Structure 1
């Protein structure tokens, strides 16, 4: 009996101890309903096996896959933990493919953005040129005199043997048409566009010597004289202080024989080539074609021949033939041992180390080398492959002359680029290898001549003189018999 009483007392004590540690919790579940929870700690077990359960294992798996995704996108090689390695490995090819696709699309969009930016810059430049031309036309003064009165005054003044009053504003210098019959140089782009009743033409006639039996302007011969400079256009901005303009004597369709080309050569990346249908459009500044060269150009030594632009690539001795029809590089070749980027320039500087030109004999390069120690070297080039066919080394120091040009296989050098009245002082004949000193008057009208080249198309000199595009008539003597 005593033992049974003792067992009941122990049971009551254990029950009271369990009640001290039991707890009752009341709260709303996720659906909002009230829920009671009664918890009693186990008297025998300190921890429960599988404490997390399947839900915690699933959460850890998803966390491991997420870490693998972040590491893959960040470019880090991080291995997933534990059992998540297999799941991450399955997702890795899909992630790589998605990443490659995103990067490819980004590169395509970047390239399209750059192309559109270049087109926008070109359009802005053309709009600026058109705006300036509009302002120039609006600012042109109009004559207040009526058409009938102006015509009457003109007839009376010319009847008295003197020009009409105010006619000096419309005087024009008439020049002879070239061999091809192009009379575009007789048109003055600055002609006042008023009523036809009071437009008049005043010709300033220059006395010319009687025909000389030794003068022949139809074939090759030695240069006798250079005419007065005729201005065709002034550049619009600082990029046009130096430049080169040219005409192809053997133009290729779709470009006509009257097409002219211009490049402004100031700037770190000279790539734009402007084309004009004729001299009148060049004078007005309205290009009909704008090409973007694939390689930047250096200096003012470019030339045009048989449907291609020939020029020197910037910061190199590489020559490039750019086909105007396909708008692609047709050939490129290094000019052996040629100096470049200021090693052997003309006296005015401008990185004029390599000067390309075209005459009746073909394509030429004028430059110097370390072996020649700064003396002018003349090379005849193959117009298709740019290979050097033959070279001549002269005794003319390249840095001692301002510029040079080729006519009928003869090299002519100009003494000064800045003196208003200077001379053509040397002529070197590649046919005989003889150098001769001459003194043919030459004028730098605007005081900074950075480009002088012979235009085979017009048989004139083209020059770029301190923002101005000018040309010179030439007189050649008859070819001497060998």
Structure 2
């Protein structure tokens, strides 16, 4: 072996032109044995045919394919037709995802609110059950024995009462109309359970005001008719809302114009206008305005060409001029609770309720100083400044809703009971309140808005997706 190696090296050294380009390698072969390799360039051929062989060509093809894949992954083809369609598809998917997330958030918020309302209803039912048991456990008052007529006294003599009976026990005490506040105080305020107010409405009977026919003046409320459904909301945003009519309309809108706001959602700003009741019933708005500030709940109203509403999450009142489509005035309602501090019993952030009657613009709310009792304030319709306030003796969260007619506040006991009562009246002229018992129906079992409409002398209400109206009858005004 050594001899052969020496001979090879000698041949290399004597190889003429190629001796300076010869090369010798040593390495293990595939079986692990040592192998020597000696290469010498050809003195005549410049290149070999089929250099690299099929393996090199396959390697080049694989490298080319790899380069194409790397270019695609790095966005090298984004500008091509396939990249453009892919970008559009991603944009559409993102838009659909955002829409689905928004709807999910809305439904989640609605679910949480409904769960809170369910818990509130369960608490009220439990309180009413306990109150009912307490009332049932109370002993019945002693019955007055019936005294048979005495023949000796029927000839014109007076009949004497039975021994030990009270001659005045058969009389029913009635509220004093001469200003005695002790007999007019609402007894519900003295009890701890808000549910007692609704129970009281079913058992209390107060005589209606004098006069059996409807009076064009400002007497007390005598009765409320059966509800008439005008239309149904189109989507979930209309489960709660407010619809209104301006009793003193201002150009460019006529006196028949109907306005509507759907109040479900976190960004409530759309105000829909309808030329008349027919178009409102058909659901064809002639005007859609985008309000500059978000609306809180169902307490808005229209008056003298302006929309009055509460700005979301604040005690700020806004007067929005419908003609110029701009904010005309804004002012905080002093000390008023907001965003769930003192709502009606149905909830819905109904802390501030604005309304209009024969005497102007009103706000119904409560404050910490009033400890949750209803406060009534008459507002300047131009500046929104408080002109005068009254503090009642009935808690705001113990009633379902309220409305004002002729300067008198009326409260409704339940927002879900199909047959409930208007159970309390407060007269701002005399600064006195008293319990009343006027039948009222919630046709669709969830009444979230009730307001007096002076233009048609009706009550407008929003009852579980439905916009309904009630005719009202007033008694003759009482002489001063």
**Cα offsets for 1:246-302 (capped at 9, x unmatched):** 000110111111000000000001000000001110011000000000000000000
- The residue correspondences of 1:243-262 to structure 2 (distance < 5 A) are 243-262=241-260
**Cα offsets for 1:401-452 (capped at 9, x unmatched):** 0000000000000000000000000000000011110010000000000000
- For structure 2, the residue ranges without an aligned partner over 5 or more in a row are 1-98, 100-209
Give 1:479's aligned residue: 477
Q: Distance in 2 between matches of 1:464 and 1:214?
A: 29
3-state SS of 1:283 partner: helix
Q: Distance in 1 between matches of 2:218 and 2:401?
A: 21
- The residue correspondences of 1:19-168 to structure 2 (distance < 5 A) are none
Q: Distance in 2 between matches of 1:280 and 1:389?
A: 37
Give 2:204's aligned residue: none
- For structure 1, the residue ranges without an aligned partner over 5 or more in a row are 1-120, 122-211
Q: Distance in 1 between matches of 2:446 and 2:372?
A: 23
Q: Distance in 1 between matches of 2:338 and 2:277?
A: 33
Aligned match for 1:297, one of 295, 298, 313: 295
3-state SS of 1:351 partner: coil
Length, aligned pairs only:
273
Give 1:429's aligned residue: 427
- The residue correspondences of 1:194-205 to structure 2 (distance < 5 A) are none
3-state SS of 1:294 partner: coil
How big is the shift at 1:216?
3.6
Give 1:202's aligned residue: none
Q: Distance in 2 between matches of 1:235 and 1:219?
A: 35
Q: Distance in 1 between matches of 2:356 and 2:446?
A: 23
Give 1:309's aligned residue: 307
3-state SS of 2:293 partner: strand
Give 1:454's aligned residue: 452
Q: Distance in 1 between matches of 2:212 and 2:223?
A: 13
**Cα offsets for 1:162-212 (capped at 9, x unmatched):** xxxxxxxxxxxxxxxxxxxxxxxxxxxxxxxxxxxxxxxxxxxxxxxxxx9
Give 1:350's aligned residue: 348
Higher RCO, 1 vs 2 (CA within 8 Å, ≥6 residues apart) = 2
Q: Distance in 2 between matches of 1:316 and 1:456?
A: 28
Is 2:371 the partner of 1:373?
Answer: yes
Give 1:137's aligned residue: none
- The residue correspondences of 1:202-281 to structure 2 (distance < 5 A) are 213-281=211-279
How big is the shift at 1:214?
4.8
Is 2:388 the partner of 1:364?
Answer: no
Give 1:392's aligned residue: 390
**Cα offsets for 1:94-122 (capped at 9, x unmatched):** xxxxxxxxxxxxxxxxxxxxxxxxxxx9x
| TM-score, length-scaled by structure 1 | 0.56
Give 1:382's aligned residue: 380
Name segments (4+ residues, structure 1) moved above 2 Å.
212-217
Is 2:320 the partner of 1:322?
Answer: yes
How big is the shift at 1:217?
3.3
How big is the shift at 1:218?
1.5
Q: Distance in 1 between matches of 2:373 and 2:432?
A: 15
Give 2:112's aligned residue: none
3-state SS of 2:234 partner: coil
3-state SS of 2:291 partner: strand
Structure 1 vs Structure 2 CA RMSD:
1.4
Aligned match for 1:338, one of 336, 339, 348: 336
3-state SS of 2:429 partner: coil
Q: Distance in 1 between matches of 2:281 and 2:254?
A: 18
How big is the shift at 1:213?
5.0
Q: Distance in 1 between matches of 2:371 and 2:263?
A: 27
Q: Distance in 1 between matches of 2:477 and 2:307?
A: 30
Aligned match for 2:415, one of 417, 424, 439: 417
